[in-house]
Amino acid sequence: MNSEQKKGISIQSFLIDIFFTWYVFITIDRIILPALTSYLPLQGFVVQLAYLFIAFISALILRSTQQSPGQAILSNEKVSMPFLGKHILWLAFSSSIIAGWITTDISPIDFFSAKGIESASNIFTALITPELSIFDIALKALIETVYIALTATIIALPPSFILSFLSARTLMKGSPLSFAIYSTVRFISNFARSIEPLIWAIIFSVWVGIGPFAGMLALMIHTVASLTKQYSEQIEDIDNGPIEAIQATGAHPLQVISYAIIPQIVIPFLSFTIYRWDINVRMATIIGLVGGGGIGTMLMQYQGLAQWNEVGLIIIMIAFVVWVMDYVSARVREALR
């Protein structure tokens, strides 16, 4: 290991120490103590800086006393975790469990209360006795949901295919310009993928109005971002032998893509696409809850009116379609392997 690598590991381990000490301190100070006692933590940006400063000093102390958990985690050799480092990690884990229990307001008493069980029993009884009079309306909304997912997937394929080549590092590292294009496409796709389809549906519901068009646009944007990542990673993992052989003949870059790359990625691309359509069918139901059209909108309406028998029919229909899609998708992807 050269000096640059050692320096990089040293910085990373120091940042790990800062994170764990800051996390333990802020979790106990902000969540656990206020919940268990009458303690009120100080507020403000300066206080947050003080937390980081304390974590920084603590990390320096851990390093100077050879108790750094970060160094033990990143070490290439088998070394035992230092005494303080081990306890800091256990404290971080324990405080996470306690803070999670407090933050989510877990209450077994409410869960098993007689009133809660009675209310749940009434709802489940209604769900298993569906109201069949709305079957035709629900079927139409369900078909709309499937087509929202299908249309979003089909429209997303061409841009995903093109962008995947631009975001494949192995193809875009030849010059500063190509690397800049790679970085830009990667950043935009990662950003778009980090925003859930539910949020995109809200955005497009305001943009184009509530309905299936907004839902389709939301799924299409997220599908482009997701498939671009999956496609590009598949391109990066292909065998370079055929590429080098065709390049040796003086072939144009487009010819290299056509004859050396595409034949290796067709089957995985088809598999990813079918799987994405399967995901989109599920997501099309969810985005309907915020105005994305389809059966999700219908489900939200009946749920808001507490008409649980109607909700029961819609849930059964959704579950059936999702099961069929999952089965067909799995069979097709298995046949493509």
Task: Give, for all 337 residues of the chain, the pLDDT tens digit.
Answer: 566 667 777 888 889 989 999 999 899 988 998 988 888 888 888 888 888 999 999 989 988 888 888 888 887 777 778 888 888 899 999 999 999 999 988 888 888 888 888 888 888 888 788 888 889 999 998 999 989 999 999 999 999 989 988 888 877 777 788 888 888 998 999 999 999 888 999 999 889 888 889 999 999 999 999 999 988 888 888 877 877 788 788 777 778 777 787 788 888 888 888 888 888 888 888 888 887 788 888 888 888 888 888 888 988 888 888 888 888 877 877 776 6
Indicate whether 79 and 136 sit together in one domain.
Answer: no
Contact 44, 6 (CB under 8 A): no
Indicate whether 188 and 299 sit together in one domain.
Answer: yes
Contact 317, 139 (CB under 8 A): yes
Domain count, the chain: 2
Q: Which of 75, 106, 137 is the last residue of a domain?
A: 106
- Cβ partners under 8 Å of residue 196, min gap 6: 222
* Residue carrying the six token digits 């970085």: 183
Give the closest residue to 219 by CA, choosing from 307, 293, 317, 315.
293
Indicate whether 95 and 175 sit together in one domain.
Answer: no
Q: What is the DSSP letter of 250?
A: T
Indicate whether 94 and 161 sit together in one domain.
Answer: no
Indicate whether 95 and 183 sit together in one domain.
Answer: no
Crossing angle of the two packed helices 212-236 and 135-166, in degrees rounded to 10: 40
Indicate whether 82 and 195 sit together in one domain.
Answer: no
Q: What is the pTM of this model?
A: 0.73
DSSP 151-190: HHHHHHHHHHHHHHHHT-TTTS-SSHHHHHHHHHHHHHHH
Crossing angle of the two packed helices 295-304 and 308-336, in degrees rounded to 10: 150
Indicate whether 291 and 163 sit together in one domain.
Answer: yes
E strands in 107-266 = none
- Give the range of the structural domain holding residue 325, as residue numbers without chain letter: 127-336
118 assigned to some structural domain? no
Indicate whether 42 and 137 sit together in one domain.
Answer: no
121 assigned to some structural domain? no
115 assigned to some structural domain? no
